[in-house]
Amino acid sequence: IGQERKTCFGSLRMSSSIESIASSPRKLFTNLQSDMFSHPLDKQITRQLSNLPLVASAVRRSMSSIESAFVISNLESTILVSPTQMPRLYDSLATACKILNVKAIPELYVKQNPTPNAYTLAIAGRRPFIVIHTGLLDLLTPAEVEAVIGHELGHLKCEHGVWMTLLNLSTQVLDVLLGPIVSIPTQQLLLRWQRAAEFSCDRAALLVAQDFKVVVSVIMKLCGGSSKSSFNESLNVDTFLLQAEEL
């Protein structure tokens, strides 16, 4: 439950250009608004979802206590990143926020979990937060991790929290909240929206990385990368893109 999801990026071990991208000058989008990069379907379906009576308010009410549980869980079983705790990772977060014009830096937690994943949660008015698994940090380069952070910030920038939460609720919970007749079309609409929302956030990742090969490399590594650097060194982004053209 919540806004937990696998990041939809790829990863290829590119040459030094990927490793050095974080230190190279990048454009800051000082007036960036979410509608400037959101996928058209994301904006369209979000408007449709917003017209569903009582749905958003019902989810916010039901998630209030669950969100509090998430906060407590983060504090007791993860590491809160800060300028004095994993400062390089915090710098990546601050840089991504600055590029995307995110004024309030969300909390960032690192969770011990071998599954490469990241997710974000922001629903009931509390300070939003991002969680990154150690498996993701082991798999990706610093520039690629920053792209993932940009993706998660995209969810916050686009205010996806309520609808992502609704998508992750079980069918049984939807039936209780909305009734079985409403829940089925709502779920279908949410699934269409999820794909569009991920497109929007991939665009946010690209705005942060400002190198499309970094973002493709994340996707590739999530498909078949390894935490062993010697294995990833043989990965090839261009070949991976040729594979994608077969779809």
Arithmetic mean of pLDDT, 118-126 = 75
Question: Full-prediction pTM beyond 0.95?
Answer: no
Q: Please tell me the least confidently modeled range out of 2-6, 69-73, 115-119, 172-176.
A: 2-6
Count CB-CB contacts under 10 A for residue 61: 12
Arithmetic mean of pLDDT, 192-199 = 89
Which of the four pLDDT bands, split at 50, 70 and 90, describes residue 2?
A: very low
Catalytic residue among 67, 144, 146, 152: 152
Q: What percent of the chain has pLDDT over 90?
A: 53
Q: What percent of the chain has pLDDT over 70?
A: 72
What is the CA angle 26-3-150, rounded to 5? 5
Residue owning tokens 């709502």? 186
Do residues 30 and 101 lie in contact, with contact meaning Cβ atoms separated by under 8 Å? yes
Q: Which of 23-27, 120-124, 171-175, 233-237 has the highest mean pLDDT?
A: 233-237
Per-position DSSP letters for the chain, written without gaps between them? --S------B-----HHHHHGGGS-----TT--GGGTS-HHHHHHHHHHHTSTTHHHHHHHHHHHHHHHHHHHHHHHSEE-BTTBSHHHHHHHHHHHHHTT--SPPEEEEE--SS--EEEE--SSSPPEEEEEHHHHHHS-HHHHHHHHHHHHHHHHTT-HHHHHHHHS-HHHHHHHH-HHHHHHHHHHHHHHHHHHHHHHHHHHHHHH--HHHHHHHHHHHHH--S-HHHHTT--HHHHHHHHTT-
Length of the chain measured in residues: 247
Count CB-CB contacts under 10 A for residue 144: 34
Catalytic site includes residue 76: no
Q: Return the structure tokens found at 78.
A: 């993860």
